[in-house]
Amino acid sequence: MNDRKSTVLPTEIRELLPELIAWRRDFHSRPEMGYEEHRTAGLVAQRLRAFGVDEVAEGIGRTGVVGIIRNGGGPTVGLRADMDALPITEVSGRPHRSAIDGMMHACGHDGHTTMLLGAAYYLARTRRFSGTVVLIFQPAEEGKAGAKAMLDEGLLDRFPCDAIYGLHNVPGLPAGQIAVSPGAVMAAIDSFEIRITGKGGHAALPHLNRDPVVAAASLIMSAQSVVSRNRDPNHAAVLSVTRLVAGEADNATPDTATLKGSVRFLEVGDGAQIEADLARIVRGTAETFGVQAELLYTVGRPQTVNHEREANVARRAAESLTSCVSVAARQVPLLASEDFSYFLQARPGAFAFLGAGEKSPALHTAHYDFNDDLLGPGAAFLSRVAEAELSR
């Protein structure tokens, strides 16, 4: 984003930008895994108190932090950011690169946390709303269900929200572009494990063996038909076998092989049908190759489904900021998953995408780094959403 656009941010956010950049880079250099975000959570709580936030609660969902800003009577709106990192070794070479081997912020949660801190600063200082803002700093989004943990520990009982909002940076979208639409915008994710048991033996005597590796190879290819040939082409879904473990010696057929993978889909109900189709293929493969095969299918987090009214509120908030952001015609669904979905099952709300730049490295890669040019616009967007909800 260019300097002209940064100058038309709200004054409070524009003045805070140097600190936001410093905070974000500090978070990036000291990443913490899910439920281990003790330093990050401590700094978040410290800054919220320094901003004059009315109440700060720590330790919700183990390492989650919640801040409350009140201004008279009215509804309550929640704003959420995630804090955890990924087990990836960074190779960016930047001065603020991760100082911890095997761990980095490869998904931009350092930026999401910082943007919500910027919104907290603005909302605590200006209080141009009537009601209550609940600032939710969530742990363990990366596959550890931190949102569910916060909900299970009574987050919305202690801090009721009439609506809840979040956002995620998305490489490939123009930098600073907001995309938000009603409906399913991110996929549900299930996982599976297939255990194949055959009969091992010498590789030179295959007729005496029951080869689980050949059965596994056949099963991998057959499983691709679950989506490509058995699903409505209008229903976005993907089945990926991501691990195959079998054998130790080059000259021996092993006794067992294990496959693992994931299933992602946008349409409610497709997961159960995919599970049934996969189970049928597993049974058929076992019969064909004379092996035993067991499918262990685990239902994971649900689709992220934006509610229509709240998606429209978020879109209008973005449109009111077109001097510092652009607004996409529609939000193109992604087959990645997000545990913000648990919040949207509990309360109405919307999850927006914030473009990170068309040339940004992909998420979950060793070269990724959050685009600091998004900090101001992201903080402004979250602030404007809260003001829009609390002006009713």
Domain boundaries, the chain: 3-185+303-389, 188-298
Q: Which CATH number fits domain 188-298: 3.40.1020.10, 3.30.2290.10, 2.60.40.3620, 3.30.70.360?
A: 3.30.70.360
Fold of 3-185+303-389: Aminopeptidase (3.40.630)
Rounded Cα–Cα distance for residues 136 and 141 (Å): 13
**pLDDT tens, position by position, for the chain (392 residues)?**
444 345 589 999 999 999 999 999 999 999 999 999 999 999 999 999 999 999 999 999 999 999 999 999 999 999 999 999 999 999 988 999 999 999 999 999 999 999 999 999 999 999 999 999 999 999 999 999 999 999 999 999 999 999 999 999 999 999 999 999 999 999 999 999 999 999 999 999 999 999 999 999 999 999 999 999 888 888 999 999 999 999 999 999 999 999 999 999 999 889 999 999 999 999 999 999 999 999 999 999 999 999 999 999 999 999 999 999 999 999 999 999 999 999 999 999 999 999 999 999 999 999 999 999 999 999 999 999 999 999 96
| CA 392 to each of CA 74, 211, 340, 351, 387: distance values in angstroms, whole numbers, following the listed order | 8, 67, 25, 20, 9
Rounded Cα–Cα distance for residues 330 and 135 (Å): 27
Bridge partner list, 238: 264
Rounded Cα–Cα distance for residues 337 and 349 (Å): 16
Residues 6+ apart with CB under 8 A from 57: 65, 66, 67, 68, 158, 159
Rounded Cα–Cα distance for residues 328 and 180 (Å): 8
